[in-house]
Structure 1
Amino acid sequence: MPLMTWKDEYSVKIAEFDGHHKQLIGMINDLDDAMRQGKGKIVVGDILKKLINYTGFHFAAEEKIFKQHDYPEYVEHKDKHDKMTAKVLALQNDYNAGKVSLTVEVSKFLTDWLNKHIKETDQRYSEHLNSKGIK
């Protein structure tokens, strides 16, 4: 049984970004499944690689739309993206350095991302972008 399932409360009402966010839920579930099987340390490296790629394409896509449609919270939102990207890279560095408790830290980071960034920060752009025809 997956740890996280998609719920309407996660939706930002933009299909492309909801699709991206569903990929994040997939990473959370993949890591949780591996941890339950005692294989978290084995898959955490792959999860981090996926997460680095994800932050690159997802944040770029959001920021491009924000600029195109004059999203008023662009600067603040981009700052949060930059901090999250830095955290992902720090986690990758910790992984490469052999940090022991990293699997739990990555799991918590991903879950916080879903429950804080998506449900709070990302929700704020929905109305603005929907009003510009982005759905």
Structure 2
Amino acid sequence: MPLMQWNDRMSVGVEQFDNDHKKLVDMLNSLFDGMQAGKAKDVLGPILDELVAYTKTHFAREEAAMEKFGYQEFASHKREHDDLTRQVIEVQTKFHQDLTASLSMEVMNFLKNWLVKHIQGTDRKYTPFFHSNDVK
């Protein structure tokens, strides 16, 4: 059973960002599946690394569009992105530095809850803005 499933309530109405969010959900589920199956660190590490890298790529894509069109809430949105980036890099660093480290349900739930809250709250706020700039 996946940690989370994409649903229409998570859509922000901007295809590229929805596709990114779907991929992040899939990657988070892959990480969760590996954790649940007791996969070794050498299997989970690359999945975690890919999740962190793709998160950064997605944030950069959103932020570039916000800057391009002059989104008024850009600074606060970027702060949320920067905060999560710091937190996931910290998880990633601890995971790779500690030979006995594993991913916990606490970490998985944090990532899931942050993603859902950010998409359905903060990201949803930009939908009317992007639509008014013909970004769909």
TM-score by length of 2: 0.88
**1:104 alignment counterpart:** 105
Inter-partner Cα distance in structure 1 for 2:40 and 2:105? 9
**2:125 alignment counterpart:** 124
Residue segments in structure 2 that go unaligned for 5+ positions in a row: none
TM-score by length of 1: 0.89
Matches within 5 A, 1:1-135: 1-39=1-39, 41-98=41-98, 100-135=101-136
Moved segments of 4+, more than 6 Å: none
CA drift at 1:113 = 2.6
After TM superposition, the structure 1 stretch with the greater mean CA deviation from structure 2, 98-107 or 20-29, is 98-107
CA drift at 1:123 = 0.8
CA drift at 1:105 = 4.0
Letter in 2 for 1:100: A
Paired residues of 2:24 and 2:55 also in contact (CA < 8 A)? no
Inter-partner Cα distance in structure 2 for 1:91 and 1:8? 29
Paired residues of 1:9 and 1:119 also in contact (CA < 8 A)? yes
* Other structure's SS at 1:47 match: helix
* Aligned residues with identical type, % of pairs: 43
Q: Residues 123 and 13 (structure 1 numbering): CA distance in 2 closer, same or farther, change over 3 Å?
A: same
Residues 63-105 of structure 1: per-residue CA shift (max 9 Å, x gap): 0110111111000000111111111111111112216353434
Inter-partner Cα distance in structure 1 for 2:109 and 2:43? 15
The count of residues paired between Structure 1 and Structure 2 equals 135
Paired residues of 1:28 and 1:111 also in contact (CA < 8 A)? yes
Residues 10-68 of structure 1: per-residue CA shift (max 9 Å, x gap): 10100000000001111121122223322274533122211221122111110011011
Residue segments in structure 1 that go unaligned for 5+ positions in a row: none
